[in-house]
């Protein structure tokens, strides 16, 4: 028992220098979310306007463009993390958000908003999803297989803590200082990580340093192309990963569509502003902390990762239906209770994917699923943005302003069906068929 406690303490100690900058980073990002809705609406429409279809379309356009590039970037960054180490890629992805918020911290007028918008798309392409995937791969290097679900639950709970603290700061800080404080916190993260975080794998040795530039570029391009093929092979060779890819695609098709328009929908229907958004997000943050730290460790041994996955998808369906049918301003607050449950889907998915692949392919597997998730994210706004804008207008054929959210919930019903039929494997089938023992990166901290 003492040995187990010491082992758990050692694993937690190794993760502290990862969790601290992640926590600060997501606090800095989340504290800007409620205010960005008002900033975007003010920049694109009249200052006091509640209905702003331009904001809905622009947000959908951003999500689509980012999704297109992330389909390539996510598996590529996962592969690079497997080859050259987790730390360099973590430093790259965690630094990407500094530049767009530096623009808004300087000035949030209309001209500067568009500069922020371009930089934010670039930072999302680099960091959105990939930061979490590489962090999950880092944790998988350190934590034993049978403890990963709990460890991933702690990480997602920490993100919920960050969500709560970020929205609390957004609620109490003056609007004029939110972007400045966020910028300082974002700049702290890569500095701390550079000084404190330890590497967990042996980076691949560098070769062909004295080759001509043209030959080197050609070799690098071929190597990256072969790496992407291997990343795809990791997913194709595992029945569990293929099933998770299908579930993830259908689920994110619905949920990302809801998330892309939800705040603008609530602002249009109930005239919500930064304060109401912060209150909802704080409620979700508090509940998510409890569900992931206390409920998940108790629930997972009883129903397993598959059971947690199904329960989470079911809660997501209820979340979409209640928001789509919201008949009073208190309904979005009530529906946030379901969001407290469906956040468990992240930890369950990470654990299923992690167990379905070998220790040397963690970055590839997580990158493969993240790329599938990104493909759904780029497609959903193509339908959700015009559909939401149409039913919020006076031209709607019937009075159901949340009709687009109801349609998105239907996709999650299909995701629940496939999640129920999911069959799990132990990861032996997900190994890269071209792997050999000479090229395996061994964990440094095991």
Tens of pLDDT, residue by residue over 319-347, are 889 888 888 888 888 888 887 787 788 77
Residue-wise pLDDT for 133-161, tens only, equals 788 788 877 777 666 666 776 777 777 77
Give residue 185's pLDDT band: very low, low, confident or very high (50, 70, 90).
very high
What is the pLDDT at residue 191? 92
**Which of the pair, 271 or 317, is modelled with greater confidence?**
317
**203 within a domain of the structure (yes/no):** no
CATH number of the domain enclosing 120: 1.20.1250.20
Residue 188 has pLDDT above 90, yes or no: yes
**158 within a domain of the structure (yes/no):** yes
Instruction: Assess contact for 40 and 112: CB atoms under 8 A.
Output: no
3-class SS at 201? strand
Give residue 113's pLDDT band: very low, low, confident or very high (50, 70, 90).
confident
**340 within a domain of the structure (yes/no):** yes
**88 within a domain of the structure (yes/no):** yes
Residue found under tokens 């990480």: 155
Largest distance between two CA atoms of the chain: 69
What is the pLDDT at residue 205? 56
Q: How far is CA 239 from CA 37, 46, 245, 252, in A?
A: 41, 52, 10, 20
Top-ranked range on mean pLDDT: pick from 204-208, 243-247, 396-400: 243-247
Residue 4 has pLDDT above 90, yes or no: no
Of 29-43, 74-88, 229-243, 255-269, the poorest mean pLDDT is in 229-243
Mean pLDDT, range 435-444, rounded to an integer = 42
Residue-wise pLDDT for 69-111, tens only, equals 877 777 778 777 777 788 888 898 898 888 988 888 888 777 8
**361 within a domain of the structure (yes/no):** yes
**193 within a domain of the structure (yes/no):** yes
Give residue 444's pLDDT band: very low, low, confident or very high (50, 70, 90).
very low
What is the pLDDT at residue 232? 64
* 324 vs 50: CA distance, rounded Å: 18
Look up the pTM and report it.
Answer: 0.64
What is the pLDDT at residue 48? 55
Domain count of the fold of the chain: 1
Residue 8 has pLDDT above 50, yes or no: no
Give residue 241's pLDDT band: very low, low, confident or very high (50, 70, 90).
confident
**175 within a domain of the structure (yes/no):** yes
Residue-wise pLDDT for 14-46, tens only, equals 678 888 898 899 888 888 877 887 788 777 776
Mean pLDDT, range 262-281, rounded to an integer = 80
What is the pLDDT at residue 445? 39
What is the pLDDT at residue 146? 65
Find the domain containing 61 and state its range: 9-198+234-430
Residue 443: strand pairing partners: 201
**321 within a domain of the structure (yes/no):** yes
Residue 291 has pLDDT above 70, yes or no: yes
What is the pLDDT at residue 426? 59
Residue 393 has pLDDT above 90, yes or no: no
Mean confidence (pLDDT) of the chain = 76
Phi, psi torsion values for 270, nearest 5 degrees: -115, 10
Q: How far is CA 220 from CA 80, 126, 360, 422, in A?
A: 12, 20, 21, 38
Mean pLDDT, range 267-283, rounded to an integer = 79
What is the pLDDT at residue 442? 41
Residues above pLDDT 70, as percent of the chain: 78
Burial 197-231 (b: 16+ CB within 10 A, else e): bebbbebeeeeeeeeeeeeeeeeeeeeeeebbebb
Instruction: Assess contact for 261 and 417: CB atoms under 8 A.
Output: no
What is the pLDDT at residue 145? 66
3-class SS at 394? coil
* 288 vs 159: CA distance, rounded Å: 9
3-class SS at 259? helix
3-class SS at 393? coil
């Amino acid at each position: 028992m003492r040995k187990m406690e010491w082992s758990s303490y050692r694993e937690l100690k190794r993760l502290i220098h990862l969790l601290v900058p992640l926590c600060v980073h997501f606090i800095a990002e989340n504290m800007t979310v409620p205010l960005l809705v008002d900033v975007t609406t003010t920049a694109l429409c009249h200052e006091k306007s509640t209905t702003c279809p331009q904001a809905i379309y622009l947000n959908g356009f951003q999500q689509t463009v980012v999704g297109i590039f992330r389909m390539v970037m996510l598996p590529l960054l996962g592969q690079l993390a497997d080859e050259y180490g987790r730390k360099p890629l973590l430093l790259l992805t965690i630094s990407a958000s500094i530049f767009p918020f530096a623009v808004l911290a300087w000035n949030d007028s209309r001209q500067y908003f568009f500069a922020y918008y371009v930089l934010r798309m670039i930072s999302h392409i680099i960091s959105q999803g990939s930061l979490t995937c590489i962090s999950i791969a880092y944790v998988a290097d350190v934590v034993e297989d049978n403890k990963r679900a709990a460890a991933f639950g702690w990480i997602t709970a920490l993100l919920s803590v960050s969500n709560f603290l970020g929205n609390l700061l957004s609620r109490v800080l003056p609007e004029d200082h939110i972007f400045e404080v966020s910028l300082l916190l974002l700049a702290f993260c890569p500095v701390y990580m550079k000084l404190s975080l330890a590497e967990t794998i042996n980076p691949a040795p560098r070769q062909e340093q004295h080759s001509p530039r043209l030959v080197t570029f050609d070799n690098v391009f071929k190597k990256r192309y072969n790496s992407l093929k291997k990343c795809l092979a990791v997913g194709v060779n595992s029945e569990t990963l293929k099933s998770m890819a299908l579930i993830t695609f259908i689920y994110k098709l619905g949920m990302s569509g809801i998330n892309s328009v939800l705040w603008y929908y609530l602002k249009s229907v109930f005239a919500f502003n930064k304060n109401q958004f912060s209150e909802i997000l704080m409620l979700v943050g508090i509940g998510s902390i409890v569900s992931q730290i206390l409920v998940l460790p108790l629930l997972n041994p009883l129903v397993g990762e598959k059971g947690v996955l199904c329960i989470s998808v079911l809660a997501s369906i209820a979340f979409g239906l209640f928001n789509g049918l919201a008949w009073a301003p208190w309904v979005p607050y009530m529906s946030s209770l379901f969001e407290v449950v469906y956040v468990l889907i992240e930890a369950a998915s990470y654990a299923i994917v992690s167990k379905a692949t070998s220790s040397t392919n963690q970055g590839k597997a997580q990158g493969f699923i993240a790329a599938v998730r990104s493909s759904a994210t780029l497609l959903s706004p193509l339908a959700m943005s015009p559909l939401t804008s149409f039913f919020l207008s006076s031209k709607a054929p019937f009075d159901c302003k949340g009709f687009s959210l109801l349609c998105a919930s239907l996709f999650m019903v299909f995701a629940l069906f496939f999640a129920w039929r999911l069959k799990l494997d132990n990861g032996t089938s997900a190994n890269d068929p071209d792997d050999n023992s000479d090229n395996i990166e061994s964990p440094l901290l095991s």
